[in-house]
Amino acid sequence: MEFLTPPFMQRALIAAVLVGVIAPAVGIYLVQRRQALMGDGIGHIAMTGVGLGFLLSTSPVWMATAVAVVGAVTMELIRWYGRTRGDIALAMLFYGGMAGGVLLINLSDTGSNANLTSYLFGSLSTVSSEDITAIAVLAAFVLLVTVGLRRQLFAVSQDEEFARVTGLPVRVLNLLIAVTAAVTVTVAMRVVGLLLVSALMVVPVAAAQQITRSFKVTFVLSVVTGVAVTLAGTITSYYQDVPPGATIVLLAIGVFIALTLLAAPLARIRARRRETADERCTLEVPATRPAADDAPVRPV
Amino acid sequence: MNHPTEAVDPNRAAAPEAIVPEPQNTTPCTTSDPVIVVRDATATLGARPVLRGVDLTVRRGEVVALLGANGSGKSTAVRSVIGQVPLTGGTVELFGTPLRRFRDWARVGYVPQRTTAAGGVPATIREVVSSGRLSRTRLGLPRKADRAAVDRAIALVGLADRAKDSVDALSGGQHQRVLIARALASEPELLIMDEPMAGVDLASQEILAETLREQVALGTTVLLVLHELGPLEPLIDRAVVLRDGCVMHDGPPPKALGQHALPGHDHVHPHAASEPVRTGLLS
């Protein structure tokens, strides 16, 4: 437990746990809506926010949050109105955001590509106590939305048209998912970096659903997976000289592979259990023939 | 899967006439209380007119089938009633309220045309059916009565023993039953169904028809899109036939379609060859 002593490590671990909880909690709704790569898009857009933060000498984290929220809402609006070539519009947003970030950070006096790298791939060891406060506040918001409104968000993500006919405020809920995803991206930016943040939102969910049958269990298991890999990755990076972000993502993929291998035998066991219940379907031919029917009976 | 239906089918194939002449035995008398009023509705898909002045009235307790060929606009008509297709002209009223101001969605149970009702994440039957109750609970927490209503809806479609199974593991017909249970979870007064029998195995068709019969007996109003009347024929009070976005017929189920849709003329022939009784009749 020696890794708990240095203060920077304590902060890193708190940040890691919070991100491990909230990234899959939002990601599960994105996966359910088959928008698994939305987090990646928001990450690209957030780059412009980071660049803007350096240029204006304000906090890159808050600037990235603001820009990511605007970007996520724009993506949601494109999904509503621009049905025809939505993918092209999204591509513009993603790459525009990335290019804008690189340009702005090089225009600023303090920023450089080296600074940019720490946002692209995360820099857990430089998390300050103010960062921890910001991360905790944002994580609380994300948890409140994703857990408190889980029934409504489930319905909207499962079948949007049906959700509209139940009278739910579908547009507001969609925007809420977009904003929550944007907040999560910027929170996770410090831990795994903008380029890998989407992995932490999607891979734990993909891993969990290999062996689950219900949404509830998938939710819990993907959060447990998220926390386990962020903690394990952070601790590994303390002892071995490896970048935490990449370690966390590779660990998550490892869990995915392990659970996928476990899925086949598990499905076999479940199928066998169901078969034993259904096995006895007897042929009811003699009993069900109408009495008046003279049709010749063939041996079955 | 098909075993239980073999018990039912010989009777239906042997005596179709016996089923036809009693169409209204369970439905209460219709009053003049309209639940759905569509007046002169027009709608376009892209540049193509899909509805060209459709009038449709469904009164309380009525069971109305919307028939027509593919592309006749029946699905669009039904989706415009629940506000999912914007009208370019005309009006829609639900329970006497213009659609724009209608908020009482718990009174409406909607069964969409079966598509991919399974999302990207596993979900159990119970979880999917529970979302139908949200029209009553809205943003609040579900109470004991809400959970009981969800259980009742699942039992109504005969899936009580599978409530904890994933919807991914279900057959097409079972999936359709889940969607109907989801619509019934809010205990609606009006059921709107888009092709509930499409691609449904015979066992599930029987259960769906029985479920619907119970709902109609309780006084539920039903508007459903059908490709053919099929096993639901005895329940149907009135048929509205669309062609090219216009109403061609509004009255008792039409003869031609009725004959075409008798159970004996089922488009799905899952056990025509393996059924000894039927082969005997034909030879």
Domains observed in chain B: 3-15+33-282 (3.40.50.300)
Asked if residue A162 belongs to a domain, the reply is yes
pLDDT at A79: 81
Structural domain boundaries, residue A168: 2-195
pLDDT digits (tens, 9 = 90+) for B67-114: 998 889 999 999 999 999 999 999 999 999 999 999 999 999 999 987
The values of phi and psi at residue B169, to 5°, are -90, 5
Name the domain count of chain A.
1
Q: What is the CA radius of gyration of chain A?
A: 24
- What CA–CA distance (Å, rounded) separates B223 from B206? 19
A-chain residue closest to B166, CA distance: A213
The values of phi and psi at residue A176, to 5°, are -65, -40
User: How far is the CA of B52 from the CAs of B32, B35, B227, B248, B262, in angstroms?
Assistant: 26, 22, 20, 12, 30
Asked if residue A171 belongs to a domain, the reply is yes
- Binned at pLDDT 50, 70 and 90, residue B158 comes out as very high
What is the three-class DSSP state of B92?
strand
pLDDT at B7: 41
Tokens, residue B54 = 């459709």
pLDDT digits (tens, 9 = 90+) for A240-253: 989 999 999 999 99
Residue burial B13-49, b: 16+ Cβ < 10 Å; e: rest: bbeeeebeeebeeebeebeeebbbbbeebbbbeeeee
Asked if residue A256 belongs to a domain, the reply is no
Cβ neighbours of A218 in B, within 8 Å: 121-122
pLDDT digits (tens, 9 = 90+) for A154-197: 999 999 999 999 999 999 999 999 999 999 999 898 888 998 99
| Chain A nearest CA to B137, separation (Å) | 10
Q: Does B259 score more than 70 pLDDT?
A: no
Lowest mean pLDDT among A225-229, B118-122, B202-206, B255-259: B255-259
B136 Cβ neighbours under 8 A, 6+ residues apart: B106, B146, B149, B186
- What CA–CA distance (Å, rounded) separates A102 from A112? 9
User: In the predicted model, what is the mean pLDDT of residues B30-44?
Assistant: 85
Lowest mean pLDDT among A89-93, A292-296, B145-149, B196-200: A292-296
Mutate to test the interface with A, among B78, B121, B193 (most CBs of A within 10 A): B121
Q: Does A285 score more than 50 pLDDT?
A: no
Asked if residue A86 belongs to a domain, the reply is yes
A-chain residue closest to B274, CA distance: A300
Q: What percent of chain B has pLDDT over 90?
A: 60
Mean pLDDT of chain B: 81
Q: Does A278 score more than 80 pLDDT?
A: no
Residue burial B175-184, b: 16+ Cβ < 10 Å; e: rest: bbbbbbbbbb
Q: Is A153 on the interface with B (CB under 8 A)?
A: no
B-chain residue closest to A296, CA distance: B280
A152 Cβ neighbours under 8 A, 6+ residues apart: A163, A168, A173, B134, B139
**CATH number, domain at A181?**
1.10.3470.10
| Chain A nearest CA to B279, separation (Å) | 8
Asked if residue A215 belongs to a domain, the reply is no
User: How far is the CA of B253 from the CAs of A94, A254, B224, B260, in angstroms?
Assistant: 55, 61, 13, 11
Asked if residue A296 belongs to a domain, the reply is no
Q: Taking CB atoms and an 8 Å limit, are B135 and A300 in contact across chains?
A: no
pLDDT at B118: 65
- What CA–CA distance (Å, rounded) separates A161 from A76? 16
A106 Cβ neighbours under 8 A, 6+ residues apart: A112, A113
User: How far is the CA of A78 from the CAs of A42, A90, B173, in angstroms?
Assistant: 14, 8, 35
What is the three-class DSSP state of B93?
strand
Q: Taking CB atoms and an 8 Å limit, are A28 and B103 in contact across chains?
A: no
Q: Taking CB atoms and an 8 Å limit, are A161 and B84 in contact across chains?
A: yes
Asked if residue A184 belongs to a domain, the reply is yes
From A159, A218, A295, residue closest to B280, measured CB to CB: A295
- What CA–CA distance (Å, rounded) separates B176 from B199? 9
Cβ neighbours of B276 in A, within 8 Å: 285, 295, 297-298, 300
Q: Does B9 score more than 90 pLDDT?
A: no
For residue A296, count CB atoms less than 10 angstroms from its CB and return exposed for 0-12, middle for 13-18, buried for 19 or more: exposed
Cβ neighbours of A286 in B, within 8 Å: none
Cβ neighbours of A290 in B, within 8 Å: 10-11, 14, 277
For chain A, the maximum distance between any two Cα atoms, rounded to a whole number of angstroms, is 98
Asked if residue A130 belongs to a domain, the reply is yes
pLDDT at A60: 83
- What CA–CA distance (Å, rounded) separates A160 from A168? 10
